[in-house]
Chain A
Amino acid sequence: MAYSNKVLDHYNNPRNVGSLDKAATSVGTGVVGAPECGDVMKLQIQVEGDRIVDAKFKTFGCGSAIASSSLATEWIKGKTLDEALKISNTQIVEELALPPVKIHCSVLAEDAIKSAIADYKAKQQG
């Protein structure tokens, strides 16, 4: 099964790889995993006001999981939290032309965004 060019592009030149300060109150961290394959993904956002000003990820998994998280960080940068919450895995599937067996990779990326935002919001209340 061949990866699409967009997947290969993100896989070979992943955007926004790295970490943000997990302890900072302006940073939300989401860690999610796919039990089907044992892949794990960490996605972090830095928020100012209600806007995501920076995003970083670290994914240990297949090419599709890396591409999905790379694309996710690209898309959420500059968006408000509400806009970012609207990103769905089907948009990632379409953009990367993921085959059915790799749909769970896009689900992982969507879950990671939601989990990072939830972590950020919980920090603001704490």
Chain B
Amino acid sequence: MEAVIPAKAGTSGQEDTASLPEVPAYAGMTDEDPVIAGQNKSLLRLLTCGSVDDGKSTLLGRLLYDSKMLFEDQLAALEADSRRSGTQGQDLDFALLVDGLSAEREQGITIDVAYRFFATDRRKFIVADTPGHEQYTRNMVTGASTADLAIILIDARKGVLTQTRRHSHLVHLLGIRHVVLAVNKMDMVDYGRERFETIVADYRAFADEIGIGAFTAIPIAALAGDNIAAPSPAMPWYEGPPLLEHLETVPLAAARPDSGAFHMAVQWVNRPDSRFRGYAGRIAGGSVRPGDEIVILPSGRRSRIERIVTFDGALDRAVDGQSVTLTLADEVDCSRGEVIASIAAPAQVADGFVANLVWMGDEPLAPGRAYWLKIGASMVSATVSKIEHIVEVDTGRPAAARLLALNDIARCELRLDREVAAIPYARGRELGAFILIDKLSHATAAAGMIDGFPRRAALDRGASEADRIVWLNGVAPEERAEVAAKAQQKLQAMGRMSFILDEASLRESLNADLGGDPADLAEHIRRVRAVVGLMSRAGLHVLVAVDVPTAEAWPGRQIDRADLDQGGEAEWVI
């Protein structure tokens, strides 16, 4: 298919290829080096937050420049732009590199989330760049929703400000695991160690208070490039890595192949003909192998994984983050929006959430109005049934509210018109996050993060029957009532319906005809077994506070004193 040289052009053509040099080697590598094929390179998504003029654009421009993502023509354009509208006199104004749309360029503000890319040989970076102006919450939450790491920028002269707290609250709310505190403009404070340490101590006190466990503080000067790509000679007292090195080496949660139990929302049922039926989706947690037992939620149907089908051949294992197509061993019903999960599944079935909502719509929340709610691949109708309180984003403190308007954050209860599979946001973004969509304008009205499930608990069809049965026969009879009540509370908080089967009520009803001789005792135990089995099959967790012999083999778990001592908060019910 090589181009045929047209007669008219080719015959009189001269040769001019001799002077062109061969392509030089890249960093001394052969073409077989994995770097050339882009193997061994990971992906980190990050968010930059800072107030206006803290130097966010400058830092970003710097990172692009120092990781050599700028090309000659872009640099030439930057030089021209810097002369025309820059703020740096003769020097390059890196901030101009990352300015976007023309309207905002003219007004000198950025008004939206922009995504930028840079890379080293080891890692590719996707930066969500959010402006420090109004609409801040909406934009920052959008950028933060996909970020693994947040850089919180501080001006060394100003220290920790109200805005810093706001950014940190949002970073925490969105569950970003890695936080970098970049103390910028160190040149303006004589590269002073004390100033840096004061700011870090201030921030640490605040971070502890709001629950940001760990963060990495780096003193930088974005404009001059100190501690960006290379250690700064002006700050020999700083022993940590420069920013780029830190970003390159921070361990990634997404790169962990074993992130909890397997679950995957079915996006598309692939049925090219009657012989093939595959369930396509992206694995949202854990890993899966052919033969694994699974449950489909919310229906509760069970099956086994038959094959993991991909274009590149069947796999013997697929992990978190991979897009695959699964076939099941049985002909079970499963449609878009349902979740295929391991039978040790943490996903649960609920028709209501307690959640943190970030209001994004220009129109305020209309209480009682129905919105579309999208979670995973399912779309249901939902209403906000209760606004518990608004969270003041600058302080993190709760305040009463009747209404939600743009950029408000609130803890709410939602009611869905049918059941969906979900998990708390803290355990996973894919099934813990949702959006609300205005049914008339189709605008995205809110972002939501599930915090728990309302008191009206649901049947737990995710776990196996035996997993739902807990025998309290190892606990002293006088303690059983209290222990069972605690466990029930715990289950309810997790949105699971339970029943306490206790000796006294059993003896008064079903077993009222039985006495204490061995034959009656055997019959008593037979009935307990039957009742417990029926209840758990129906999806209830059963807490059995009945006298039964400890020596027998029971389906389910037996709890004794030692379990109670270990799992203080009734953790053992899970």
A-B interaction: no
Which residues of B come within 8 Å of A, CB atoms? Answer: none
